[in-house]
Structure 1
């Protein structure tokens, strides 16, 4: 597919993902296995599928993991370049930091931890039709109180950027995807921290710039927490969230190459079983994300949880709404629930019971 006008894609992937620890101790959030491949690969597949060829990744934390996996992008049908940010410069600073690598007059900018179903062609069309300086994807959410809201006029022009409130005037929120005119992007200050949400966009409104919203109610999820990460992975597996990178057909589960699934195992809710992982007899996985080389013991139950690379879950254990770090060992008959996070390499003895505390 070819675009009417050439566009660069920019993906901001420099964050440390502290809310997802311990998973992000070994890899940046966009590189975590999500429905069988690094999350970023799902986003890049959507960029590629609308005909964008040139992508700039704004990296920082563990920047080498991106280059090692994606290289120059040719294996993924893309031309990928990288900008490494030595010191965090905020969202606006990160966007300005890539300006020197842009090739075209329009840049489609993504926060690299958002899973979205927005029609990217429609977003670009909104930008072009309005001759906008910046166009924001605004998504309607059932409860906008947890977010800043962005009201728009009847013609779609953005009226304000409002902080979180218990009585938001609109259900439209900033969805973390923007279209910039290149000259506007290049006008962001350099050499200091800049928030695009608190400084750049409000400043553009004050100056009379043409800032528009592309409003929809499509699928949207911020993968910043373990619960959201599990949900996002499951939604990709089941086909609820769009992707062109799923390594298999959408369905109730995804089992990667080399995984061993014993008899009487129940896999559902969009669960993923990683490469060379083992799920032993009569185990039940519901909305589970099991990383490569992990072992799930007989009759174990894994619900809405992440099991890290090489971790071992003992027979009959229950892991619910929890994160088990890489290489951790959970003894037989344990119960781990309620948001518990087990750090990499930790061993919990048989019949241990832990609730709502990190170990």
Structure 2
């Protein structure tokens, strides 16, 4: 796609520590993987972000990173953008101490980069279904300083989780409420109380900004002081702009997929693999089959398992392996007889032994799942080993998360449990949902 006239640039906010997404964001107990580098459907998150924006004409990107690990990990992957056909620049490490919140980080770096054009500001832990051309049209028609990408949600979805916006008939925002309670949602949006189908406009965390006018607003003494202390986009900067008469518009986009915690990650992965994100559909390779919809790398189709000695292609043709809806299988994956997969993402070099069943699950590169394991709605990190057996299978569900290199012994039964990287977990059962096993002492408490 050709570049757009007007030259919208991309500003990617990649400074968070990914606390809510642990253990997905951990390579070890004390080494954090940048949220930008979380694996998702065969690539890293920031690669999907770059491609989604480049497809719509953005060729210049500015990455607001934070700390040595974030900055070095992202730069090692992206470089300066040559592999992706774009230009990438990074925030200076000397600015890290000023990046006190997403809003402050944006304002400080607009000055550092001397940006005066239009910029699309977006987080690195979400995938979006949106039209940049339509977003730009709303922005221009309303003459806004900031146009907020909005997603309509039910009051129950909004309560305690998303920032809500009050908008007028002209599409301009008159107020923001950050993560209101359900009672507060009903108070602010009475139509949502009387009409069970009424939806509430929420902040999707993506903003089209007029850099020149936003920089002028940032020179107001009150905002300057706030930006030295704590200034987030949703809770601080947007409300300030509205309260001080700056035009803020809202533009509804088709869909937002949040990846900020384990449950949201898995829900979004299921939606993407099912084809619910039209923009992701364009970015992903053509599926090998549409009904059911799945992708299998050629190398995996011709890989034989060491028990039956037959290829995956043979097993699928004979009905010995069933590939259901929304399945992606990477390179050189070994799959045994009797395996059943649905809404599953299988990383490169993974092994699934006979009789294993996975649904709603992400399986990391080079991980192994033993015979007759039953795993649903779970994340299994790279190099993890699930030691299941036919007589004593492992069962996981309820948004479990198993970190990199974890060993889980046969007979384990887990629901909604998180296990940090490199731990060896004996046969455990009946742990309360929400339990986090962060070290060996945590495990000993439950033996």
Please state if 1:246 is matched with 2:284.
yes
**Corresponding residue SS for 2:20:** helix
**Corresponding residue SS for 1:16:** coil
Please state if 1:94 is matched with 2:150.
no
Cα pair distance change 1:236/1:89, threshold 3 Å: same
| Contiguous gaps of at least 5 residues in structure 1 | none
Higher alpha-carbon deviation: 310-319 or 227-236: 227-236
Cα pair distance change 1:346/1:114, threshold 3 Å: closer
Cα pair distance change 1:204/1:28, threshold 3 Å: same
Task: Using the TM superposition, give the Cα deviation of residue 182 of structure 1 relative to its aligned residue in structure 2, in angstroms.
Answer: 1.0
Q: Structure 2: how far apart are the matches of 1:14 and 1:256?
A: 34
TM-score normalised by the chain length of structure 1:
0.91
- 1:29 is matched with 35
Contact map agreement 1:41 1:245 (CA 8 A) in 2: no
Q: Could you report, residue by residue, the CA deviation over 1:77-125 in whole angstroms, capped at 9, with x for unpaired residues? A: 2111112563552111221243122544211111122222121111111
1:41-60 correspondence runs (5 A): 41-60=47-66
- 1:82 is matched with 90
**Corresponding residue SS for 1:138:** strand
Higher alpha-carbon deviation: 276-285 or 129-138: 276-285
- 2:385 is matched with 329
**Corresponding residue SS for 1:127:** helix
Cα pair distance change 1:40/1:50, threshold 3 Å: same
Cα pair distance change 1:315/1:322, threshold 3 Å: same
**Counterpart pick for 1:304 among 342, 357, 360:** 360
Q: How many residues align?
A: 358
Q: Structure 1: how far apart are the matches of 2:105 and 2:296?
A: 36
Q: Structure 2: how far apart are the matches of 1:149 and 1:290?
A: 36
Please state if 1:345 is matched with 2:405.
yes
**Corresponding residue SS for 1:235:** helix
Cα pair distance change 1:234/1:115, threshold 3 Å: same
Please state if 1:11 is matched with 2:12.
yes
Q: Could you report, residue by residue, the CA deviation over 1:139-163 in whole angstroms, capped at 9, with x for unpaired residues? A: 1123433422101111111010013
TM-score normalised by the chain length of structure 2:
0.74
Task: Using the TM superposition, give the Cα deviation of residue 254 of structure 1 relative to its aligned residue in structure 2, in angstroms.
Answer: 2.3
Q: Structure 1: how far apart are the matches of 2:298 and 2:267?
A: 22
Q: Structure 1: how far apart are the matches of 2:126 and 2:375?
A: 26
1:97-108 correspondence runs (5 A): 97-99=108-110, 100-101=112-113, 103-108=115-120
Task: Using the TM superposition, give the Cα deviation of residue 56 of structure 1 relative to its aligned residue in structure 2, in angstroms.
Answer: 0.8
Task: Using the TM superposition, give the Cα deviation of residue 289 of structure 1 relative to its aligned residue in structure 2, in angstroms.
Answer: 2.1
Higher alpha-carbon deviation: 328-337 or 204-213: 328-337
Q: Structure 2: how far apart are the matches of 1:195 and 1:184?
A: 18
Contact map agreement 2:270 2:360 (CA 8 A) in 1: no
Higher alpha-carbon deviation: 131-140 or 259-268: 259-268
Q: Structure 2: how far apart are the matches of 1:81 and 1:265?
A: 46
Contact map agreement 1:237 1:254 (CA 8 A) in 2: no
Q: Structure 2: how far apart are the matches of 1:214 and 1:112?
A: 20
- 1:198 is matched with 235
Task: Using the TM superposition, give the Cα deviation of residue 9 of structure 1 relative to its aligned residue in structure 2, in angstroms.
Answer: 0.9
**Corresponding residue SS for 1:345:** coil
**Counterpart pick for 1:144 among 144, 158, 164:** 158
Q: Highest Rg: 1 or 2?
A: 2
Q: Could you report, residue by residue, the CA deviation over 1:304-329 in whole angstroms, capped at 9, with x for unpaired residues? A: 12222322110111111222233221
Higher alpha-carbon deviation: 332-341 or 227-236: 227-236
- 2:257 is matched with 221
**Counterpart pick for 2:169 among 154, 157, 169:** 154
**Corresponding residue SS for 1:288:** strand
| Contiguous gaps of at least 5 residues in structure 2 | 28-32, 190-198, 304-310, 420-447
Higher alpha-carbon deviation: 115-124 or 24-33: 24-33
Aligned-residue CA RMSD in angstroms? 2.3
Q: Structure 2: how far apart are the matches of 1:166 and 1:182?
A: 35
**Corresponding residue SS for 1:19:** coil
Contact map agreement 1:284 1:299 (CA 8 A) in 2: yes
Q: Could you report, residue by residue, the CA deviation over 1:7-35 in whole angstroms, capped at 9, with x for unpaired residues? A: 11111122222222222113323322222
**Counterpart pick for 1:171 among 179, 200, 204:** 200
Contact map agreement 2:274 2:343 (CA 8 A) in 1: no
Contact map agreement 2:356 2:370 (CA 8 A) in 1: yes
- 1:357 is matched with 417
Q: Write 1 or 2 for the structure with the bigger share of helix.
A: 2
Contact map agreement 1:23 1:308 (CA 8 A) in 2: no
Cα pair distance change 1:314/1:19, threshold 3 Å: same
Please state if 1:129 is matched with 2:130.
no
Contact map agreement 1:13 1:59 (CA 8 A) in 2: yes
**Corresponding residue SS for 2:12:** strand
